Structures are given as C-alpha cells and as structure tokens.
A and B are shown apart, each in its own frame.
Chain A
Amino acid sequence: MDSILAESTPTSAIELRHVTKRYGDTVALDDVSMTIEPGEFFCLLGPSGCGKTTTLNLIGGFIPMSSGELRIEGRMVNDLPPHKRNVNTVFQNYALFPHMTVAQNIAFGLRMEKLPAAEITSRTGEYLELVGLAGFDKRLPSEMSGGQQQRVALARALAKRPAVLLLDEPLGALDLKLRKHMQTELSRIHRQVGTTFVFVTHDQEEALSMATRIAIMSGGNVMQTGTPREVYDHPAGRFVANFVGETNFIAGTVTMEDGRRVFAIPGRGRVAAPTGSTDGPATVMVRPEYVRLRPVDEPAADPGISGRIVNVAFLGDHTRLTVSTDAGDIVSVRPHATNVRSTHLEEDLGQEVCVWWPADDAALIAD
C-alpha cells in the first residue's frame, strides 16, 4: 500500500501503470509500467518493433491504449486528446509546416494557445536563439538543411514550454557527423531548459551518450531500466547485454579446481570465475574491452583460453582483435596506446595467444 502511494506522488513527470496496447491480436505493449521523473533525459531504447514508438505515441495521445493508466504530472490523461496534453513532440520526419516560415512554425503552437502577439514574438525569438537559429525566422523549411529543420522542430515543440518533450528518433535522418553534433546540442538544450525529455532511439550509442536513464525494450516489454552505466555494466539479461554495447557470451561450467572456483570451457580453457558464482553450467558475458591477451608461454595463475588471432581491425583509436578459441570467437578491443613512432606490432594475424580476463570483469548471465 505504502509503495503504491509513493509511486503516485504527483511529482512524476510521466507514469505508465500496467499499460497494454494491442493491435488486433498483436500485442505492441505488454503490461508496461514505468516512471519518469521531472528533468530526466529518459531514453526508450530497443530494436524496431519493440514498442518504444508505441509508448511515445501513447504519451503524445496519438493512439489510444488498450488498458492501463497514463499520468502526466500526476494527472490521469487516458482520454485526453493530443491538443490538450501538456507534452510536445519532435517528430521523426520533423513534420514542419512547409507553407509557413520558421517563425510561423514556431509561433503556431503559441497562436493556438491564444497568447498575446507580443508574447508570441518574444518567445519565438527566444527559442530560435536557444536552438542556434537566430536570424532564420523568415526562412521556409524547404530552404534549410536537415539539421536546421531538426532545430526548428525542436524550437517549435519547446516554445510551448511543455512538461515533457517527446523525441521520436529525431537524429535518425542526419548523417553521422551531424548526429554526433546534435547529440551534444540536445544535451546542452536539455540542461538549459530543464524540461523532461523522453527520447526514442534504436541507437545504443545515442542512448548511452545522452540519457540520464534508459529503458531497454523488447517485444513490448521493458527489459531493464537504469542509468547508462548500470545497463552497460550490469545488464539484466542476455538481450540487454547484447543490445547495449558489444559482448562476448561464453558458455561453460563453473567448478572447483585446486580449491579455487574456475570457469571452464569445453577443452582445456580455464579462467577465474566471477565472485559469487555457484557450481554448474553457466554463461559469462565479458565486454571486449575487458578481454586481455597474453603470450601462450607466459606463466599465470589461470591457464586462460588459448586460441589464434583470426582477425585484426585497426580502427584508429582502438584495435579490434578476433580470437578463435574452443569456446568460439572471442572479441577483444584494446585502446590505441602505443607511441606513434613505434614500429612494434603487438599482435599479428594467425598468432597463437592466450585469452583471459580478471575474474570480476566478467559476469554470469541468466539464459
């Protein structure tokens, strides 16, 4: 009882309670509950068809939900049409009005609110300034680049001073360089206006770099909610581990050998088991940046997993090595730390190496 009361404190920006959305027989959202606090940069992350856009459309009011309860700033809005909700959306294709200038686009929402003309003018200017488009007010959307249109869409939605700003994959249409730049910009704007942002993306890097919290969705369910570090370092399951960042999954058995608990793969490979693991078949996940390599003849406490380097990809700031072992291919990533003038090659294609990792850089994962 207490916990329910605590959850329903009106301070939450968005609250979904047991929300289900069905399209005919297909369940797009399956009993989803989540709470988004004011000022958060909350990211809905998942592959296409996971229900993230459905969630956003439900909050925006564009589709009705099948069951459950949706609250915005504590107020039940299940039956409220979009134009009466205190949320605004940046659409995936921006949905700018092509027959209006930039200033008219931004002013449209304010005109609908019937604000005084002077207030509309000053606010339009203010938000153009915020998104870095001061002086562009007389342009038409068709005269602007994709990145600029994106900013107009952002200003148009923010000018309404909504409780929550919804962003539906707004960076999807931009090229890589612009996308990186806009990520930084979005973070700045979020800090500056302090509004709650709810951001939908399928790009895990985008989510990790901008979000204060991430909800990872799959098949209409929320698999895990947490800060970027939490979901990266402590993924709740194989799906999350796989979707957020690159991961090696290695199947084997945890056994006691010589008084120590080790993780054994088929064959002779052994590495120290993560603390707290219990005996029996298990799968560990280890991020490529934690996977280390050493020469096969170097003495060590654990035998490690021997294998052969089958691929070396130099990627500038890091090198990605693929090692073929009895436990399958294991990917190792190492930062580019060598001196530029050094001619010393650390690893080579075809070289026999020993793969290992410190026990607690790996985690046992439920299947």
Chain B
Amino acid sequence: MTSETAGGADQAPLAGSAPGVRARLGRAVPFVPGFLMLAFLFLIPMAIMFVFSLWRTNSDFNVVADWNLNNYARFFNQPVYLRTFAKTLVMGTAVTAAGLALALPFNYFLVRYVSRGLQRAVLLAVIVPFWTSYLLRVYAWQAILGETGALNQFLMGIGLIKEPTTLLVYNDTGVFIVLIYVYFPFAALALYAALEKFDFTQLNAAQDLGARPDQAFRYILVPQIRTGIITACIFVFIPILGEFLTPTLVGGAEGNLIANLVVNFFRQSQIPEGSALAIVIAAFVTIVLIIFRRSLRVEDVVTRG
C-alpha cells in the first residue's frame, strides 16, 4: 500500500509501469508458499482426478485415455449410486441434527452454569479422544456394540436379553451411533465458541418483555449463535459425505455410504469410475459450501453492522 501511494499521484495513470509491477509482485510474495501448497496438494491432484474421470478402464483393468462421459452417466443411470448418495445425505442430515441436538444443550449448560476453569476441563475431555487414531476409536465401538461386545454382555448380564443382539451394529443404526460419537466434538466446539460470547441476561430480558422461554430461545438465542450452528453443520455434514471407515467397520453389508463406493472402485483398479464419483461428491460439497457461506455472510452483516 505504502509503495503505491509513495509513487505519487502523477504516476497513477502509468499503472503498468515498472515500479507498479514490482510493488505488486512484492505484495504477492507472502502468498507464494500457500499457493504452492494448495497447487501441489489440492489443485493438481484434483485436475489429475478430473482427467482420469474422463477416461476409461479396459477389460485388463488398465486405464485407457479414451475421452468420454460414461463414468458420469453411470452415476445418474444406475439406481444404486443415486440411492446410496441419497442415503448418505439422509445419514449426514440425521447425524448433523442429532449432533446439534446434543451439543446445544451440552454447551448451554456448560457456558451458563459451569465455572470457567471447569469449562476448560470439560472441553479438554471432549477433545481428548482426538489423541487416539480415528481407526482405533471406531474399532473400540465395534468392541462395544459387537455380538460379543461389552453392551451385549452387559444386557445379558442384567438379564434384559437372552441372545446377543445385533440391532445396534452392522447396519445403518450402528453407523449412525458411531458417526454421532465421532462428530459430536466438532459440533460441540463450534457451538461453544458461539455460545461463549452470548450474554444470557438477554434471555431474562426477552422473558421480561413477554416472551415464553421457547420464544426467547428462538428469537434471541438462535439468531445470535447462527454462525456457530452453520459452522457446526459444515464440520459434521461435509466430512460424512466422505465417510467410509465407519460404514466399513460397523455398517455391515447394508451400511455402505457413497464414499464406500468410491473406495470399492479404487480397490478394483477402476480409477476412472472412482474418480468420476469422487468428482461428483466434490462438486456437491462445493455447492453446499457456497450455500452455507452465503448464509454466513448475511449473518456477519447483521451482527457486525
């Protein structure tokens, strides 16, 4: 900025002159490492995948550079893809809703009624599971929900059931439970950040002005933590579109989500088919993010104003 103004008003029309270009290059320098990282780790791999998605696997499972759109057409033609995708969306929505439904009261009581020091400790406890690997945590759930798992032994021990139940594992319910467990911390942390700033006397004020508790919650609290709610939705919903480990470990035969299909393609060396499906998911995620982002912006304008 300084160099531009120092250049003097008389030089302004010569925007393309040497000092101007140099100044602009100078300002671009700090962005170079970030740009390189994005380019090598994100843009180029995506481009490669996109190119693959337009090619074809031959009968010897070799990739052939034969440009076509069949891999995309398959997604829309074969019901299993659309069905699995729809199921993934339902699962994502359900887990997001359940995560919010748990995280909101959790944070409300944490922020409103727990001392600051203790709040830190509780949040730490929420984060601690991240210190172990994702795979281990899901295996642990297998050990809890499985046929010879802790839950079944407990239920049989207290005589509630006679045979081990598999109602809660190797199906969509199992996936649902484990995904809530995995993504609750994300929802909780996103909402905590929003609720922490909230002044709870506003709820008293709202009730004082004639609002029922539910109205105070809806008109006063929710609008002010909307950023946190949307962030929580993004943190939970988007990663679930890429979830394949949890369905693999506790989902059984019926538990597949859309990412499992991508993984299957790659395992079978059907790289173009898998790439196309991955690109479809990525495109969908981008659209969802754009929608979320727009509502975030509106929120920013309203609160900062």
* Chain A interface (Cβ < 8 Å from any Cβ of B): 60, 62, 81-83, 87-89, 91, 93, 95-99, 108-109, 112-113, 140, 142-143, 156-157, 160
5 tightest A-B contacts by CB? Answer: A109-B209, A112-B210, A95-B205, A95-B201, A82-B207
Chain A residues with Cβ under 8 A from B62's Cβ? none
A-B contact count (CB 8 A): 63
Query: Cβ of B305 and Cβ of A140 under 8 Å apart?
Result: yes
**Which of B210, B302, B304 is A109 in contact with, Cβ under 8 Å?**
B210
Q: How far is the CA of A171 from the CA of B111 in the complex (A)?
A: 28
* A143/B208 contact (C-beta < 8 A), A93-B199, A112-B215 known: no
Q: Which parts of B248-305 form the interface with A (CB within 8 Å)?
A: 302-305
Residues of the A chain whose Cβ atoms lie less than 8 Å from the Cβ of B224 = 98-99
Contacts of A95 in B (CB 8 A): 199, 201-202, 204-205
> Cβ of B210 and Cβ of A97 under 8 Å apart?
no
Q: Closest A-chain residue to B202, C-beta based?
A: A95
Question: What are 14 A-B contacts with C-beta separation under 8 Å?
Answer: A60-B204, A62-B208, A82-B204, A82-B208, A83-B209, A83-B211, A89-B204, A91-B204, A96-B202, A108-B211, A112-B215, A142-B305, A143-B305, A157-B208
Docked-complex contact A88 and B208, CB < 8 angstroms? yes
Check B206 against A89 for contact (C-beta < 8 Å).
no
Which residue of the partner chain, among B201, B209, B215, contacts A93 with CB atoms under 8 Å?
Answer: B201
> Which residue of B210, B213, B223 contacts A160 across the interface (Cβ within 8 Å)?
B210
Known: A62-B204, A93-B199. A99 touches B212 (CB 8 A): no
Q: B220 on the interface (CB 8 Å rule)? A: yes
Is there contact, CB below 8 Å, between A113 and B210?
A: yes
Closest to A109 in B: B209
With contact pairs A93-B201, A99-B303 given, residues A83 and B223 touching in the complex (Cβ less than 8 Å): no
Closest to A88 in B: B208
Nearest neighbor of A60 in chain B, beta-carbon distance: B208
State the Cβ distance, A114 to closest chain B Cβ, in Å. 9
Chain B residue numbers with a CB within 8 Å of A83 are 207-213
Name 18 extra pairs, CB < 8 A, besides A112-B210, A140-B305, A160-B210: A82-B207, A83-B207, A83-B208, A83-B211, A83-B213, A88-B208, A89-B204, A93-B199, A96-B205, A97-B202, A99-B303, A109-B209, A112-B215, A113-B210, A143-B305, A156-B209, A157-B208, A160-B209
Q: How far is the CA of A88 from the CA of B304 in the complex (A)?
A: 28
Chain A contacts for B215, CB-based, 8 A: 112
B: residues with CB less than 8 A from A are 199, 201-202, 204-213, 215, 219-220, 223-224, 302-305
Assess the B211–A99 pair: CB atoms within 8 A. Answer: no
Q: Which residues of B have CB within 8 Å of A87?
A: 208
In whole angstroms, how far apart are the Cα atoms of A112 and B305 in the complex? 25
Give Cα A82–Cα B304 distance, bound, in whole angstroms: 30
A44-B215 Cα distance, complex, nearest whole Å: 31
**A113 to B208, alpha carbons, bound, how many Å?**
12
CA distance A91 to B215 in the complex (A): 19
A91: contacting residue among B205, B304, B305, CB under 8 A = B205
Alpha-carbon gap, A156 to B11, bound state (A): 56
Contacts of A97 in B (CB 8 A): 202, 205-206, 220
How distant is the Cα of A81 from the Cα of B202 in the complex, in angstroms? 16
Distance between Cα atoms of A97 and B199 in the complex (Å): 9
Contact flag A112-B303 (CB < 8 Å), given A62-B204, A95-B201, A95-B202: no
Residues of A within 8 A of B303 (CB): 98-99
Residues from chain B with Cβ under 8 Å of A142 in the complex:
304-305
When the two chains form their complex, are residues A99 and B302 in contact, meaning their CB atoms are under 8 A apart? yes
Nearest A residue to B201, CB-CB: A95
Cα A112 to Cα B205 in complex, Å, equals 12
Taken together as a complex, chains A and B put the C-alpha atoms of A108 and B219 apart, in Å, by 9
Name which residue of chain A comes closest to B220, CB basis: A97
Report the Cα distance A82→B212, complex, angstroms.
9
Q: How far is the CA of A99 from the CA of B204 in the complex (A)?
A: 16
User: Which of B202, B209, B305 has the most chain A CB within a 10 Å cutoff?
Assistant: B209
A96 to B205 CA separation, bound complex (whole angstroms): 8
Chain B residues contacting A93 (CB-CB under 8 Å) are: 199, 201
B224 to chain A, nearest CB (A): 5
How far apart are A119's CB and chain B's nearest CB, in angstroms?
15
Q: How far is the CA of A337 from the CA of B202 in the complex (A)?
A: 50
